[in-house]
Amino acid sequence: FIWKYRLYQPTRLDTPEREHIEILQTGQPNTDAGPDFTNVRIRIGTTQWAGNAEIHLKASDWQRHGHHLNRAYDNVVIHLVGEKDAEVMTTGGHKILTVELKWDSQLTERYLELRDEIHDIACSSKLGKVDAFIISHWMNRMVVERLEQKSEQVLGLLAETSGDWQEVYYRKLFGALGMKVNSQPFEMLARSLPFKFILKHRDNLFQLEALLFGQAGFLSDRLFGEEYFLKLRQEYQYLQCKYSLTPIEPHLWKFMRLRPSNFPTLRIAQLANLLKDQMTDFDRLYKTPTPAPFVQWFHTGTSGFWETHYHFDKVSPYSDKHLGEMAASLLVVNAVVPVLFAWGRRNDNYQAVQRAMQYLESLSPENNKVLRIWEHSGIPAKNAFDAQALIQLYNRYCSHRHCLRCAIGNKLVTSI
């Protein structure tokens, strides 16, 4: 942090021989194995050096960490330390330039104050001291970072499906519908039942239900059940044989501590209703200017049987089983937006990338623990864009106390 932002004092650095060291480039932080900073450039006299930088509290840490035996550190051009208590060498025995860095003790005090804060958001009591522009700009960066992160997952699916964007979108819909608790079995269900089979039966809701419930492992070999169950199982057995399908294990599904409205059986019934609509088609993503049609589509119901059931073998009072508006919005956030963003980046389609972000700005924020923490700290989410930014900020920075990597924490530590 001190090196990256040149917060050392005095700002002039010299070699032990009193030659001036001109810092041309502090380099990039290295998150992998090896030296702390890569692509460092310095000039001593008329000679320019390019390589890496390593940082330690004490110079003797170099040997204690075994760097003198590791060739990955032979290209270090400057060794930055708080205390120079030893000379350091490469594996070939060549001396490496070691320089002491000094800095204002207030920087350390401010950082430790944030690090040791007991509240979930370390800077919650100090946010009023930070310019609103800095917070807004950083939140924009957090949304992009979160979408880039999700985009990598989408591109992983794209490679897995041999470039089939339709199959990628299909799988993301399944995973998003499972929410956190059942996302994995829903993703497994999608893998076990490729979209090409759905297309063959899109005009028949009963067959879609048979395929989905059968592949989910819910149509067991038990002999008894309601007429709907028995007919569904019979249809599935025919389709399973026709397409050589292998169902997933039913024990993977979680019901405990879920509200009945979130039971996977009900979600699968809603999914069957979704899949008979052409809004499942991938080309709808880049042809739909606003998220409203998606929210309306996701606000789907079920076939008649599920209006009085949450399980196959247990009748419940009649209730409307449409997916709620917030759940529908979350499907847009967690399925439509990441795929649209990834497709736009992959195809250099700036309009699609912008549309994905505009979708977020048009949707209401969700209500979860992280966003309630932020609201209590004085930063409420006005829309899904803000919500995604604050979730990313909390999960990637605040919860790990990575304050020095955060623009807000950075400002609080360095402000005089």
Contact 214, 240 (CB under 8 A): yes
Q: In the Cβ-directed half-sphere of 356, how many Cα atoms lie within 13 Å?
A: 27
User: In angstroms, rounded to a whole number, what is the distance separating the alpha carbons of residues 236 and 232?
Assistant: 6
Contact 206, 235 (CB under 8 A): yes
Q: Is 333 helix (H, G, I), strand (E, B) or coil?
A: helix
Q: Is residue 152 part of a domain?
A: no
Share of the chain above pLDDT 70, in %: 95
333: Cα separation from own chain's centroid: 12
Same domain, yes or no, for 210 and 331?
yes
Handedness of CA 335, 158, 355, 149 (dihedral sign): positive
Q: Is residue 408 part of a domain?
A: no
Read out DSSP for 71-138? GGGTTEEEEEEEE--S--B-TTS-B--EEE--B-HHHHHHHHHHHT--SSSTTGGGGGGS-HHHHHHH
pLDDT digits (tens, 9 = 90+) for 133-164: 999 999 999 999 999 999 999 999 999 999 99
The set of residues, in sequence order, having a beta carbon less than 8 Å from that of 73 and lying 6+ positions away, is 34, 35, 52, 54, 62, 67, 90, 91
Same domain, yes or no, for 243 and 352?
yes
Residue 333 predicted with pLDDT over 60: yes
pLDDT of residue 166: 96
Contact 258, 181 (CB under 8 A): yes
H helices of 264-319, where? 264-275, 292-298
Residue 122 predicted with pLDDT over 90: no
pLDDT digits (tens, 9 = 90+) for 81-96: 888 988 999 999 999 9
Q: What is the pTM of this model?
A: 0.80
Same domain, yes or no, for 50 and 181?
no
pLDDT of residue 108: 67
Average pLDDT over residues 243-255: 96
Same domain, yes or no, for 171 and 78?
no
Contact 209, 193 (CB under 8 A): no
Token pair in block for residue 96:
């490496």
Same domain, yes or no, for 175 and 74?
no
In degrees, to the nearest 5, what angle opens at C-alpha 210 toward C-alphas 207 and 212? 110
Residue 218 predicted with pLDDT over 80: yes
Q: Is residue 230 part of a domain?
A: yes
Closest CA to 143 of 307, 404, 384, 373: 384
CA distances from 4 to 79, 138, 405, 414 (A): 14, 18, 11, 13
- 8 - beta bridge partners? 103
Contact 339, 154 (CB under 8 A): yes
Residue 416 predicted with pLDDT over 60: no
**Average pLDDT value over all residues in the chain:** 91
pLDDT level of residue 14 (50, 70, 90 thresholds): confident
Contact 403, 122 (CB under 8 A): yes
Q: Is residue 239 part of a domain?
A: yes
Same domain, yes or no, for 206 and 293?
yes
Q: Is residue 198 part of a domain?
A: yes
pLDDT level of residue 404 (50, 70, 90 thresholds): confident
Q: Comparing 56-60, 110-114, 170-174, 286-290, which segment has the lowest mean pLDDT?
A: 110-114
Which of 362, 379, 403 is a domain's end point? Answer: 362
Q: Is residue 142 part of a domain?
A: no
Number of domains observed in the structure of the chain: 2
Same domain, yes or no, for 353 and 213?
yes
Which of 362, 388, 404 is a domain's end point? Answer: 362
Residue 383 predicted with pLDDT over 60: yes
Q: Is residue 233 part of a domain?
A: yes
Same domain, yes or no, for 76 and 197?
no
Same domain, yes or no, for 91 and 204?
no
Same domain, yes or no, for 201 and 94?
no
| Domain coverage including residue 168 | 161-362
User: In angstroms, rounded to a whole number, what is the distance separating the alpha carbons of residues 147 and 355?
Assistant: 13
pLDDT of residue 233: 95
Same domain, yes or no, for 171 and 64?
no
Which of 362, 391, 410 is a domain's end point? Answer: 362
DSSP E strands in 4-46: the ranges are 13-14, 20-25, 28-29, 37-44
Same domain, yes or no, for 86 and 178?
no
The set of residues, in sequence order, having a beta carbon less than 8 Å from that of 95 and lying 6+ positions away, is 87, 88, 89
Q: Is residue 8 part of a domain?
A: no
